A and B are shown apart, each in its own frame.
Chain A
Amino acid sequence: MDAAAAKRKLMDGAPAIEVQGLSKIFKSVAAVDGISFKIQPGSITGLLGGNGAGKTTTIGMIMGLILPTSGSVRVLGHDMTRDRYRVLARMNFESPYVDMPHRLTVRQNLRVFASLYGVSHIETRISDLAVSLALEDLLDRPSGKLSAGQKTRVALAKALINEPEVLLLDEPTASLDPDTADWIRTRLEDYRARHNATILLASHNMAEVERLCDRIIMLKKGCVAGDGSPAEFLDRFGRDTLEDVFLDVARDRGLAGLKQADTKAN
């Protein structure tokens, strides 16, 4: 499918991300076990779950960096196992598992990634990002000499360098102070609103998920343990906060009710 056809399909309401029967088995351990979901364009979806629930593996498979054992992933209409190079320029990601080269300045790093993503008017794009992410004073400093909060802003600048239609974020505000984390969330909301971008974020931070996400997919032991809006989760579990819901799911309290509710909803 060419880019124009993919775009047409998107406009017809096709999902931006479509995961079907996705599994990943490392040796004998099922990190992800037959999950399926569709994410609509322009939405922010939170992938929730405890450590080892399969969030990073799922994101890795959506990016095409990890090959599924079975099942399929389609992003913007393209199969990520066989056809990922057709769509990579239209997506981007940020993860604590990767970093920017430390010795290069922020400007040099952004210049390299802008070229890799085929951005035209590179210097203008870097200036625009520097303004919107408050990086003006950091552009000529080595990336390795920045604080955690500054590094996160730079990583976000890299993730937005190509104005992606699909943005994958793995714990985007991990290890940030509340003020910086809140600032980052505002930038993400702005970006979604201005570009109608699809954002999938994996997070442990319930306040972040509650504020940003239209929808939550809860993972447990590699399976989808629940799927719905934050309000639906609170309602189903009879809780006031997502943190309490998270603990209920983690400790198998009320999980049966949740599955029943999902079955009815579907």
Chain B
Amino acid sequence: MSSSSSFSMQRTGAMVLRYTYLLRSSWSRVLDLMYWPAVQMVTWGFLQTYLAHLPQTQTLASHATLAAGTLIGAIMLWDILFRGQLGFSLSFLEEIWSRNIGNLMMSPLRPSELIFSLMAMSILRLAVGLVPVTLLAIWFFGFNLWGLGLGLILFFVNLILTSWSIGLITAGLVLRNGLGAENLMWTIMFLILPLACVYYPVSVLPPWMQMLAWCLPPTYVFEGMRALLLDQQLRLDLMAEAFGLNIVLFSVAIAVFFALMQSARQIGSLLQTGE
């Protein structure tokens, strides 16, 4: 038997295998990964098409029409953030729903290995859900997300780091408080939606809200996306600031997760997860 005292790729792989079995066993789960991102992209895509074709004599000014050209990009990047967190959190929730967390915590699986497997599943679920949608966007609206090149890689890294941080904190809360905290996993990302300025520039917010918005790493990504799509300018400064904030956020999230896990061991909730 392998040593259980250090990080093990075998145990991490076992957890990825477990989640892959689960996905394979349920076509509705796979369909669910693609369904909503596709519906959103098509809806916002048609809205963008409509806005782009409005005559300039109507109330919308030309720069607003241009801004509307970023809607499909915004919705797809938002989905990386939102679906990335859901992919992480739902894989974790599967353990709670199936009352398997006690088995895992009693096994040699280390918390860091569980976290890595959840991060891997977050990327896998995103790939299954979003890659077909990006191809659909090219076919339907001629919008090529992949054409963002290096920008897309930087946006992705920053958004996925934020999504994992939020996923870690909510997973810790569910571990500590049981399924009573489950709703947070579905809704927490929408709390930051207005402040992350997904569909509009930060400048439209009141000054005090702008200060809050700049505390969130995704705000830099969406500003960067608009700079790239509207001005063809890759704002590396924004990406570096987002990355710095993400490192802080991810470190805090890891610390919070471990603190909540320790608290769960204190109150005995690892053996009896539920409402």
Contacts and interface: CB of A to CB of B under 8 A. Distances in A.
- Among A26, A66, A98, max chain B CB count under 10 A is at A98
B211 interface: no
A99 B22 contact: no
Contacts of A104: 18, 21-22, 25
How big is chain B's contact interface, by range?
35 or more
Interface in B96-146: 98-110
Contacts of A193: none
Interface in B69-95: 94-95
Contacts of B267: 26
A118 interface: yes
B55 interface: no
B1 A101 contact: no
Contact of A97 (B18, B94, B272): B272
Contact of A112 (B8, B17, B266, B270): B17
A41 B29 CA distance: 47
B56 interface: no
B270 A111 contact: no
B2 A118 contact: yes
A125 B159 CA distance: 43
B25 A103 contact: yes
A101 B107 contact: no
A89 B104 CA distance: 12
A113 interface: yes
A117 interface: yes
Interface string B242-275: 0000000000000000000010011110111000
A72 interface: no
- Among A85, A104, A116, max chain B CB count under 10 A is at A116
Contacts of B14: 112-113, 115-116
B68 interface: no
Nearest to A161: B107
B25 A26 contact: no
Contacts, number: 116
Given A92-B106, A115-B10, A98 B5 contact: no
B268 A102 contact: no
A89 B100 contact: no
A7 B100 CA distance: 30
Interface string A60-98: 100111110000000000000000011011001101011
B103 A98 contact: yes
B13 interface: yes
How big is chain A's contact interface, by range?
35 or more
A85 B108 contact: yes
B107 A117 contact: yes
A84 B109 CA distance: 11
Interface in B1-24: 1-5, 8, 10-11, 13-15, 17-18, 21-22
B102 A108 contact: no
B107 A85 contact: no
Contacts of B108: 85, 88-89, 116-118
A118 to B, nearest CB: 4
Nearest to A104: B21
Given A66-B271, A142-B25, A116 B11 contact: yes
A111 B18 CA distance: 9
A245 B107 CA distance: 36
Nearest to B2: A118
Given A67-B266, A88-B107, A118-B4, A56 B271 contact: yes
Contacts of B272: 97
A45 interface: no
Nearest to A27: B267
A104 to B, nearest CB: 5
A115 to B, nearest CB: 3
Given A88-B106, A88-B108, A100 B5 contact: no
A86 B8 CA distance: 13
A119 interface: yes
A96 B103 CA distance: 11
A162 B14 CA distance: 15
Contacts of B266: 66-67
Give the 3 A-B residue pairs with the shortest CB-CB distance, closest first: A115-B14, A98-B102, A118-B2
Interface of B: 1-5, 8, 10-11, 13-15, 17-18, 21-22, 25-26, 94-95, 98-110, 262, 265-268, 270-272
Given A116-B107, A118-B4, 8 more contacts: A60-B268, A66-B268, A86-B5, A89-B2, A101-B94, A103-B21, A104-B21, A113-B14
10 contacts: A65-B102, A66-B271, A86-B5, A97-B102, A97-B271, A98-B101, A99-B103, A103-B21, A112-B18, A120-B1
